[in-house]
């Protein structure tokens, strides 16, 4: 389970959620959350709107206080200090008229320098290498506002993978993306999972997508209702009760918590 993240010894093996809970303003948002995320696997987090999926991700990213423990563990069972987490949001709000290119955006993130000072050759090569990982090198000089939904998500994925993270979090990453963009994005994610042995956590409402790409599914609604292989979770009484055995939401539906 080794990949070169600049750490000595074994790299991240799993993330353990143990009795994790979140309250806000006297309301219980999450309670008794217990499951593991393993490296080399894509774990899908599913549940109805308002189930606490975004809250759980915020707790994982250290953006909200929680009770219980979220532990990062190496292959020997030891704590894994300061894991790198790459995050791909559902959407990136920006002014589509802004004359900013993909290279400008990524160069600013990589070099921490204002883009108006120009992009040097070394940084440009770093951007190109990052985009090649997500089959997006041809987009380097394209204006951000001219990107399709699928193209923008592959650019955001390239940013999340630079530097290579220990855990990749995909928060409804394909909402509003067309079928071709969806297929290419998920094929890219699947290839990266195998080549880098990444742990991936994906929030999704698209059951077909989850069935095809997830290794493990966690159904939550304030607490974990069911967890297991996709076919086990989708066939469970907990899933049927939660979604009333209705038709799954339309592919690409833009649902928020």
96/235: higher pLDDT: 235
Confidence check: pLDDT of 146 > 50: yes
Instruction: Give the pTM.
Output: 0.84
Confidence check: pLDDT of 207 > 70: yes
Quote the pLDDT of residue 9: 38
Q: Is 112 exposed, middle or buried (0-12, 13-18, 19+ CB in 10 A)?
A: exposed
pLDDT grade for 253, boundaries at 50, 70 and 90: very low
Output the six-digit token pair for 226. Answer: 């069911």
Quote the pLDDT of residue 228: 97
Quote the pLDDT of residue 99: 86
Output the six-digit token pair for 74. Answer: 């190496």
Q: How many helices (H) and strands (E) does the chain have?
A: 8, 9
176/253: higher pLDDT: 176
pLDDT grade for 232, boundaries at 50, 70 and 90: very high
């Amino acid at each position: 389970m080794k990949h070169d993240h600049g750490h000595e010894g074994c790299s991240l093996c799993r993330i353990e959620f143990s009795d994790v809970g979140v309250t806000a303003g006297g309301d219980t948002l999450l309670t008794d959350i217990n499951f593991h995320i393993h490296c080399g696997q894509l774990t899908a987090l599913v549940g109805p709107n308002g189930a606490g999926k975004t809250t759980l991700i915020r707790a994982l990213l250290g953006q909200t206080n929680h009770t219980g423990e979220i532990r990062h563990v190496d292959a020997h069972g030891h704590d894994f200090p300061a894991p790198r987490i790459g995050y791909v949001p559902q959407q990136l709000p920006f002014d589509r008229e802004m004359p900013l290119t993909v290279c400008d955006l990524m160069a600013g993130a990589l070099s921490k320098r204002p883009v108006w000072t120009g992009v040097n050759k070394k940084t440009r090569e770093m951007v190109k290498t990052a985009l090649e990982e997500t089959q997006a090198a041809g987009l380097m000089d394209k204006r951000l506002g001219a990107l399709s939904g699928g193209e923008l998500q592959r650019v955001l994925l390239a940013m999340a993978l630079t530097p290579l993270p220990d855990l990749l979090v995909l928060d409804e990453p394909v909402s509003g993306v067309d079928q071709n963009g969806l297929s290419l994005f998920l094929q890219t994610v699947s290839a990266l999972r195998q080549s880098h042995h990444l742990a991936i956590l994906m929030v999704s409402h698209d059951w077909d997508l989850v069935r095809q790409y997830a290794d493990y599914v966690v159904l939550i609604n304030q607490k974990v209702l069911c967890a297991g292989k996709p076919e086990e979770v989708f066939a469970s009484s907990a899933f049927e009760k939660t979604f009333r055995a209705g038709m799954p939401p339309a592919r690409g539906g833009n649902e928020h918590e």
